[in-house]
Amino acid sequence: MALFSSHQSPPSCHLFKSCLTFVFLALFKSQTASSALIMSLRNHHRHPPHRRPMFQTNQSSCALFSGTWVRDDSYPLYQYSNCPIIDAEFNCQMYGRPDSEYLKYRWQPLNCQLPRFDGVVFLSKMRGKNVMFVGDSLGRNQWESLICMISAAAPQTQTQMSRGDPLSTFKFLEYGLTISYYRAPYLVDIDVVQGRRVLKLEEIDGNGNAWRIADVLLFNTGHWWTHKGSLQGWDLIQSGGTYYKDMDSLVAMEKGLRTWANWVDTNVDITRTRVFFQSISPTHYDPSEWGDGATVTTTKNCYGETAPMIGATLPNTYPDLMRVVDEVIGEMHVPTYLLDITMLSEFRKDGHPSIYSGDLSPTQRANPGRSADCSHWCLPGLPDTWNELFYTVLFY
């Protein structure tokens, strides 16, 4: 299967393939769950490109994003000590996290088995390509995770890294593969005008020009639209030629996302580039979300949590923001796949750096109720699962 082809086979060809698939499945009922996943995803990618964009969670017979966390002692997929590119704020084991059970969980979809991530396969299939993560620091979290996962499978491969703002790159030189991170927490442009940060809801070319080189684009945004006070990333919002001191966060996010969607529809060549959008990563600052399952040491947030939520009734995380995301993606012309990681991540109250972040001072670590990071994720950790799902959808 060509990863970047437009798949423009005639309808009769699709019918013939479907018939063969039916006969194959009838003859081989004992086919494994993993094989069933591979077959369903391959059939999914053979749909004509003019169909509605893919943003549903179910992949034919496999609901990738519905399932449970199961213990698996073959995890993690790499060790922090063998991946020096991990930022201090994500490097929980290096900065004193005493437990390690949170590393031993694997995501199990309801009715299929995820293919095991293979870094050598990733390198081979993506030879000469550019994969770019675009968004906020959760995108950087996932970018570093993918680099570590690939590097663990090919430790002798020569690499080159360049960190910058907004663009950082990591190259696997032997394979001509570049994996980049472009910092754009709102996706749209934000400029400094007369000393004030102006969020420009209808402008994106300042960021977008850097995205044109990518063969695979994985976008994310969300948290920064809800930040207030000292965490707010802008001083003024510009929209329709008018400057605003404040704007409803949902209204602003929708305007920004529609500008992003228009850029994708206008600039992405679907015969060359695949587009993904990662749903919003949950935070765990409120123990009432997991009720009686919270550990005794937890008073205000994720601090002290060492296991996933099991059998919990989860809150509907970011329903309004995700509604906006669904609506915008659903109206796009360029197929944009939604990696719907929100709910599966909601279970992982144990996966955050908490106080075990290299960005915190000893004084801050002594006050977990105020300083714990329950937004980002430890590496190794949950972003590795995001990348296992990304790998599955990308190649199967």
Is the C-alpha dihedral spanning 223, 374, 283, 105 positive or negative?
A: positive
Quick one: pLDDT at residue 40?
A: 42
Confidence band of 60 (pLDDT split at 50, 70, 90): low
Q: CA-CA distance, 47 to 13, in Å (whole number)? A: 11
Residue 198 has pLDDT above 90, yes or no: yes
137 is catalytic: yes
Q: Give percent of the chain above pLDDT 90.
A: 76
- What 3-state class would DSSP assign to 201? coil
Q: Which residue has the higher pLDDT, 254 or 288?
A: 254
- Work out the burial of residue 235: count CB atoms within 10 Å of its CB; fewer than 13 is exposed, 13-18 middle, 19 or more buried: middle
Phi/psi of residue 255, nearest 5 degrees: -60, -45
The residue type found at 101 is E
376 is catalytic: yes
Quick one: pLDDT at residue 111?
A: 86
The owner of tokens 């993606």 is: 329
Mean pLDDT of 246-256: 96
Among the listed residues 45, 223, 284, 376, the single catalytic one is: 376
Quick one: pLDDT at residue 38?
A: 43
CB 24 within 8 A of CB 42: no
Write out pLDDT tens, residues 280-324: 999 999 888 876 544 544 457 999 999 999 765 666 778 899 999
Q: CA-CA distance, 99 to 369, in Å (whole number)? A: 19
Quick one: pLDDT at residue 23?
A: 39
Residue 45 has pLDDT above 80, yes or no: no
Quick one: pLDDT at residue 311?
A: 65
Write out pLDDT tens, residues 110-158: 889 899 999 999 999 999 999 999 999 999 999 999 999 999 999 999 9
Write out pLDDT tens, residues 227-244: 999 999 999 999 999 999
Which of the residue ranges 9-13, 53-57, 209-213 would you say has the lowest mean pLDDT?
A: 53-57
Mean pLDDT of 191-198: 95
Among the listed residues 136, 340, 373, 384, the single catalytic one is: 373
Quick one: pLDDT at residue 292?
A: 55
Mean pLDDT of 385-391: 98
Which residues lie closer than 8 Å to 354 by C-beta, 6 or more apart? 92, 97, 301, 302, 303, 304, 305, 368, 372, 373, 374
Among the listed residues 40, 137, 281, 375, the single catalytic one is: 137
Compute the mean pLDDT over every residue in the chain, rounded to the nearest whole number: 86
Mean pLDDT of 180-199: 97
Quick one: pLDDT at residue 182?
A: 98
Is the C-alpha dihedral spanning 318, 286, 382, 212 positive or negative?
A: positive
Quick one: pLDDT at residue 300?
A: 78
CB 374 within 8 A of CB 314: no
- What 3-state class would DSSP assign to 203? coil
Quick one: pLDDT at residue 99?
A: 97
Structure tokens at 384: 């590795």
Quick one: pLDDT at residue 50?
A: 32
Write out pLDDT tens, residues 267-284: 999 999 999 999 999 999
